[in-house]
């Protein structure tokens, strides 16, 4: 079995769409995945499976809807893909000094040059966007909360994690 990362989008924010992490781990086990582990309450799940990422997304989305009564988008990646994101992180000095201001943005769809350009068009003077493979890396020099750039391109389903979380998840894959 191979390790995978599954990211739940938009849960446990402001008391809405509540998904307790202990229940998420049990749900993953009940769905046939192995070694389910979570990191913080924002929906970061590491698990083992022989099925591809798209199948993991579909199984988890269906199981979450059945168990909790609301839809949650799930974006999954293999351990190999996750480690490649981290190895290709473009904001070296910023990532060391301010890992909470560097974000990995991944989606159900592959990121494109057009997606990067759309974000750059809204970026402020201390913000940067880099396309790396099928993902976007974002740097929020003044913090994401003040940004007009947003946390992802317009269309599609996207989710972001800060560099500290990306590193922690990579460590969980070992």
Average pLDDT over residues 76-96: 97
Are the C-beta atoms of 6 and 56 separated by less than 8 Å?
yes
> Would you state the pLDDT for residue 141?
95
Global pTM reads: 0.94
pLDDT reported for residue 125 = 95
Question: How many Cα atoms occupy the beta-carbon half-sphere of 164 within 13 Å?
Answer: 7
156: nearest Cα among 120, 88, 106? 106
**41, burial (CB in 10 Å: exposed 0-12, middle 13-18, buried 19+):** middle
- Residue-wise pLDDT tens digits, 18-36: 899 999 999 999 999 999 9
Is the pLDDT assigned to residue 120 strictly greater than 90? yes
Query: Are residues 97 and 24 in contact, defined by beta-carbon separation less than 8 angstroms?
Result: no
């Amino acid at each position: 079995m191979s390790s995978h990362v599954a990211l739940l989008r938009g849960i446990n924010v402001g008391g809405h769409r509540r998904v307790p992490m202990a229940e998420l781990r049990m749900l993953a086990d009940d769905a046939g995945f192995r070694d389910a582990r979570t990191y913080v309450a924002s929906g970061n799940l590491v698990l083992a499976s022989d099925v591809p990422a798209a199948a993991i997304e579909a199984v988890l989305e269906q199981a979450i809807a059945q168990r909790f009564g609301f839809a949650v988008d799930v974006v999954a990646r293999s351990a190999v893909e996750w480690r490649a994101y981290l190895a290709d992180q473009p904001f070296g000095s910023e990532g060391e000094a301010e890992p909470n201001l560097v974000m990995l943005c991944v989606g159900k769809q592959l990121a494109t040059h057009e997606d990067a350009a759309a974000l750059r068009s809204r970026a402020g003077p201390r913000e940067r966007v880099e396309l790396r493979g099928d993902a976007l890396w974002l740097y929020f020099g003044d913090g994401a909360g003040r940004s007009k750039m947003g946390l992802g391109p317009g269309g599609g389903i996207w989710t972001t994690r800060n560099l500290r979380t990306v590193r922690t998840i990579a460590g969980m894959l070992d």
